[in-house]
Amino acid sequence: MRTSTCLALGATVLASLGAVAVGCGSSSTCEERGDCVSDPCADPNYAASYPAACPDAGGTGGTGGTAGTGGDSGTDATGGTAGSSGTGGSEPGDAADEDQSTGGTGGDADADAEAGEDVYDAAEEPEAFWCNPAWEPSDNDCVIDEEFGIFASPTGADSATCGAKNDPCKTIGQAMTRAKAEGKRVYACGDGGSYEESIAVDAALGGLTVFGGFHCGSWAYEPSAVRSGVMPSDGASALVVSGVSALDMRDFAFESRDATGAGASSITARVAGSTGVVFRNTTFKAGNGAAGTKGVAGAAGEVVPVVGTDQKGHDSTCGTANPNGGGAWLTAFTCAAGGSTRGGAGGTATYELPGNPGQPGTPNTNVVTPGMGQGGPGGTDTDKAGKPGQTGSAGNAGANGAAAAASGSLSESGYTPADGMDGTNGAPGQGGGGSGASWSFTGCVGPSGGAGGLGGCGGFKGTKGTGGGASIALLAWDSGVTLEQCTLTAGDGGKGGDGGNGGAASNGRLGAPGGFDATGDTASAGQAGPGGKGGNGGSGSGGTGGPSYAVVHHGTAPVNSGSTFAFGSGGGIGKGGSVGGAFPAPDGTVGAAGEMLGL
């Protein structure tokens, strides 16, 4: 009867055998590997640990007589009595009972048979009697065993005891937790679907070795054909490593989905503040970054009221000395975009005197042409008519948003897009100046001036376009990372959002007319000035497109051994807004792209 059982050696034996590699199972033999051991019992430490396997490893025995005939080792309970042993000790089975230096009597035949079963296997097939836990699955399939690993499958179930082949954990994260607690590896199969998780590895899970590349049904290891896929369902990174001093992951396919939130990024794996992180035969594939949001167009300035009858000048009167008051001030109108506007009052006419001038409109700051909107002069005895008020100045337009940064900012936690900037609201126009009153001739009061019209209100600002998100396969921040035979692929960066157009301003209103002279002895008062137009709202600038990089690193660049890198297109620009196509705000910048970016 032959046995294929693998016996794990203790630390003492492994240390004593050093680099000796003895096989396990039929898939890999010591002859195939070239590491057969002709006599492991020659090592005294091994012989002491496995006396049943090394019955002849004692001291040199005395010269004994001819051995007797033993019993049938597989069928009888009674063996023949052996004679005195020859040089080297007794027959197999007597190592624990006889003095090896002098030889002795042969043992019980059944005991010899049971003890000798594995002994003869070890002698005839020395590669079958132990399994080195340091071997990889590709070296020998004896390590694909629950003694050495915690098993994971997308169809498994997480629990406090999961991890057997017939009871695998559902998530890599739980399998890693179980493996760390038991001092084992992780074996994850890869042809039964993807692991929908974001694997988080911190210092508590450092030092693990995690293998993908297994078939879920047979647990056969075939990394050339199978990679274990990890792709979260919520667009998060598939792998986040922080603060570890060692981690070995191989035979995986990490993937992040297209980002969906405005300006969000797709970053497949992030490694921060770690050393000794090694990826082998692993792919990293990032989805596309999401586009930024389009800015909101500003609302137009509201329409202001027209002048009423109270703002008109009074006609001339005779036979009374009561003054004719000028057209009244309109109540100041407050614009929703900010500021207020008011037309100047008309000039007052008094008994037998020159007319008074009209008042200037307001505001007289934050306007295009300061000094406008003045009231008209009053009439005199040589120039009898009250003069018209001036037109109020237009309000200043709001400022366009400043240009977005040429690129967003990166940190260990990801990418922050480069947004455009909001415009500012337009200012109200200045109210028109009131007209002057006419000269009052003898015995009469002349016509009074009319009040100026209201200025228009400013338009509202257009808001910024936000930046597009990034597409990055691997972000390594202040970390030591090695990439062996890996493939890293980034998608496209997200387009920057267009800036919102500024809102159009409203127009100013006409001023009121001055009073009428019906006597023919003087002149009518002038027309009050119209209000100036409000300023247009400033437009928002466009956002910058997101970048596309296979690898971004801060600090030491990853060590590359046979890995390949691919990247997509940087995100397109966000266009700056404008008002009717005029005075556009700055556009964003096209997103950068490349194999690797070092910061």
For residue 106, what are the contacts with CB-CB under 8 A and spacing of at least 6? 67, 68, 70, 79, 80, 81, 82, 83, 85, 90, 91, 93, 94, 112
CA 526 – CA 235 distance, rounded (Å): 71
Q: H or E segment at 11?
A: helix 11-17
Mean pLDDT of the 544-561 span: 98
Reported as a single tens digit per residue, the pLDDT across 115-166 is: 334 333 433 444 444 899 999 999 999 999 999 999 999 999 999 999 999 9
pLDDT band at 329 (very low <50, low <70, confident <90, very high): confident
Reported as a single tens digit per residue, the pLDDT across 361-396 is: 999 999 999 999 999 999 999 999 999 999 999 999
248 strand-pairing partners: 209, 278
* Res 503: pLDDT: 98
- Own/partner pairs for 69-76, CB < 8 Å, 24+ apart? 70/106, 70/109, 70/112, 71/109, 72/109, 73/109, 73/110, 73/112, 73/113, 73/116, 74/1, 74/113, 76/109, 76/110
Q: Is the peptide bond before 370 cis (omega within 30 degrees of 0)?
A: no
* Res 528: pLDDT: 97
Mean pLDDT of the 458-471 span: 98
Q: Strand 283-285's sheet: what is its strand order?
A: 228-230, 252-255, 283-285, 487-489, 564-566
* Res 91: pLDDT: 37
Would the pTM count as exceeding 0.85?
no
Mean pLDDT of the 21-30 span: 38
Checking if the pLDDT of 30 tops 60, the result is no
* Res 18: pLDDT: 34
pLDDT band at 55 (very low <50, low <70, confident <90, very high): low
Reported as a single tens digit per residue, the pLDDT across 243-259 is: 999 999 999 999 999 99
Return phi, psi of residue 126, to 5°: -60, -20
Q: Which two tokens stand for residue 57?
A: 């490893």
pLDDT > 70 fraction of the chain, expressed in percent and rounded = 78
